[in-house]
């Protein structure tokens, strides 16, 4: 017996109905970022494994345990992208986009991480990603945040709050790192296995631990803001002043470090309590050192990424509605020679009424069967093309969502009549 194919764990099919909401929300965010002058860039799903190791950092959750890495047929190690920034920077370097130029870019699509699948956490998930390369900030930092705030506002998403922090320069972080090593070494016997390993390699990552047992220890740890260099402190004040002026509320969360190595100075996260433990909806930060680390010229940059699944879930949790996906008109054809005319009519309506959704009855059937399908389609009107009507140059219109009687109009008045009556 053959067994049915199964889906891969943590990889979802986005079905019709749901996909309409996705597209509505994706379009909303695209419109907003384009209105700020960001342009789309499309990137491969695969990159050389080395790119992610070098940019995200070897001692991070993503590189240590979440990447889909495999040799291609030539034995080259490739990785399905776990995030978009590394590929975007690589593409900018490959195509000379950063040479004496500034870039404001957006991209979107699936990301892959081998995580434990649960509500809001999947192995293939989707991100919308914005990056501004070549800008020092803090003005662009504020713009990126204000842009996301506009998105929530436009969509009526209220159950969300903004947390910001600064990670300073690499030198400041180095001093902070030493303070962390000293602190965590003193409580080493209470650390979990991951944290003990990271203590030697990358103590900042302990702050990002997802283990609730580490929480109390992490809360008592030294905070980065006390180690901030003067220029970064000024940068951070500049950002706060701009957010204040724009009326965007935030709280400073000194524990916010973000799970990737390449961040410096500004980091932020939009979080919600409406989605259980997967509260991070949109996360971002500055990565001034990344281009140089990958072999380019020192180039400041900042970006954010939003998880689409969590964005959709939050929109719905805030009472957001899905756009209607029903058709407007269903065309039934009954009797000899009517099908050709019905087809012509359907095309004519699509030509004449912008955006109209017309569904043709396919596969024939009795009047009753066709009306049943018309009803199921959600159409406001069924158009009935019959032999007698055709002979008279007329067509019957049957309202499907009201008790109004069926009526008939002259064929050449149909488009105008429909356009007036479609809501
Ligand atoms: P988390 O703390 O939830 O693991 P993260 O810090 O790993 O998130 P980022 O790498 O910053 O997340 O990715 C940006 C956004 O992508 C997150 O804010 C979240 O909305 C989304 N995201 C990250 N990982 C997943 C996943 N496995 N499934 C669904 N969405 C995700
Ligand atoms: Mg994560």
In this predicted model, what pLDDT tens digit does every residue of 164-180 receive, in sequence order?
999 999 899 889 989 99
Helix, strand or coil for residue 18? helix
Nearest CA residue ID for atom 25, ligand 1 = 121
Kindly report the number of other CB atoms within 10 A of residue 320's CB atom: 15
**What's the pLDDT score for residue 221?**
92
Nearest CA residue ID for atom 7, ligand 1 = 259
Kindly report the number of other CB atoms within 10 A of residue 285's CB atom: 28
Any ligand 1 atom below 6 A from CB of 286: no
User: Cα torsion for 82, 85, 86, 92, to the nearest 10°?
Assistant: 140
Nearest CA residue ID for atom 21, ligand 1 = 307
Backbone torsions φ then ψ of 45, nearest 5 degrees: -80, -20
Query: What are the residue ranges in the chain where pLDDT is below 50?
Result: none
Any ligand 1 atom below 6 A from CB of 66: no
Any ligand 1 atom below 6 A from CB of 281: yes
Nearest CA residue ID for atom 8, ligand 1 = 280
**What's the pLDDT score for residue 137?**
87
Any ligand 1 atom below 6 A from CB of 314: no
Query: Given the CA of residue 311, which atom of ligand 1 is nearest to it?
Result: 20
How is the chain split among helix, strand and coil, in percent rounded to 5? 40, 20, 35
Query: Token pair for residue 367?
Result: 């009047």
Please name which of 279, 304, 317 lies closest in space to residue 146, comparing C-alpha atoms: 304
Any ligand 1 atom below 6 A from CB of 389: no
**What's the pLDDT score for residue 204?**
86
**What's the pLDDT score for residue 33?**
98
Pocket test for ligand 1, best of 12, 114, 283 (most atoms within 8 A of CB): 283
Name the closest ligand to CA 120. 1
Any ligand 1 atom below 6 A from CB of 261: no
Cβ-Cβ contacts under 8 Å for 393 (sequence gap 6 or more): 410, 411, 412
Any ligand 1 atom below 6 A from CB of 63: no
Determine which helix (DSSP H) or strand (DSSP E) holds 281, and give its type and residue range: strand 280-286
**What's the pLDDT score for residue 301?**
97
Task: For residue 271, report the distance from its CA to the centre of ligand 2, in Å.
Answer: 14
CB-CB contact of 291 with 93 (8 Å): yes
Kindly report the number of other CB atoms within 10 A of residue 218's CB atom: 16
Please name which of 142, 360, 333, 167 lies closest in space to residue 242, comparing C-alpha atoms: 142
Any ligand 1 atom below 6 A from CB of 113: yes
How much is the pTM? Answer: 0.91
Ramachandran quadrant class, 156 (left: phi over 0; alpha: psi -120 to 50; beta: rest): left
**What's the pLDDT score for residue 339?**
94
CB-CB contact of 401 with 391 (8 Å): no
């Amino acid at each position: 017996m053959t067994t049915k194919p199964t889906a891969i764990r943590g990889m979802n099919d986005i079905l019709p109905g749901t996909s309409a909401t996705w597209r509505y929300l994706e379009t909303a965010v695209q419109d907003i970022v384009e209105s700020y002058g960001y342009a789309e860039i499309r990137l491969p799903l695969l990159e050389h494994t080395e790119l992610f190791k070098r940019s995200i950092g070897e001692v991070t959750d993503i590189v240590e345990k979440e990447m889909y890495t495999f040799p291609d047929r030539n034995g080259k190690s490739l990785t399905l992208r776990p995030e978009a920034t590394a590929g975007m920077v690589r593409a900018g370097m490959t195509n000379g986009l950063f040479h004496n130029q500034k870039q404001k870019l957006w991209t979107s699509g699936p990301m892959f991480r081998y995580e434990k699948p649960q509500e809001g956490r999947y192995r293939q998930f989707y991100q919308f990603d914005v990056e501004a390369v070549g800008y020092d900030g803090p003005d662009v930092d504020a713009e990126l945040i204000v842009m996301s705030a506009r998105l929530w506002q436009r969509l009526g998403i209220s159950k969300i709050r903004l947390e910001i922090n600064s990670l300073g320069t690499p030198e400041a972080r180095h001093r902070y790192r030493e303070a962390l090593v000293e602190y965590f070494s003193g409580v080493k016997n209470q650390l979990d296995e991951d944290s003990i390993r990271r203590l030697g390699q990358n103590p900042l990552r302990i702050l990002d631990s997802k283990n609730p047992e580490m929480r109390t220890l992490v809360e008592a740890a030294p905070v980065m803001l006390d180690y901030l260099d003067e220029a970064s402190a000024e940068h951070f004040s500049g950002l706060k002043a701009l957010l204040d002026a724009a009326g965007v509320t935030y709280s400073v969360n000194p524990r916010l470090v973000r799970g990737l190595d390449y961040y410096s100075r500004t980091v932020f996260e939009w979080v919600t309590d409406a989605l259980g433990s997967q509260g991070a909806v949109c996360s971002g930060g500055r990565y001034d050192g990344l281009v140089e680390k990958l072999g380019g010229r020192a180039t400041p940059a900042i970006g954010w990424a939003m998880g689409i699944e969590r964005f959709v879930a939050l929109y719905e949790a805030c009472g957001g509605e899905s756009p209607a996906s029903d058709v407007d008109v269903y065309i039934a054809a009954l009797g000899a020679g009517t099908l050709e005319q019905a087809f012509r009519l359907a095309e004519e309506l699509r030509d004449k009424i912008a955006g109209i959704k017309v569904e043709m009855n396919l596969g024939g059937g009795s009047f009753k069967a066709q009306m049943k399908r018309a009803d199921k389609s959600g159409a406001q009107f069924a158009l009935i093309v019959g032999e007698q009507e055709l002979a008279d140059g007329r067509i019957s219109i049957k309202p499907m969502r009201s008790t109004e009687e069926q009526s008939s109009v002259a064929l050449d008045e149909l488009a105008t009549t429909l356009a007036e009556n479609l809501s």
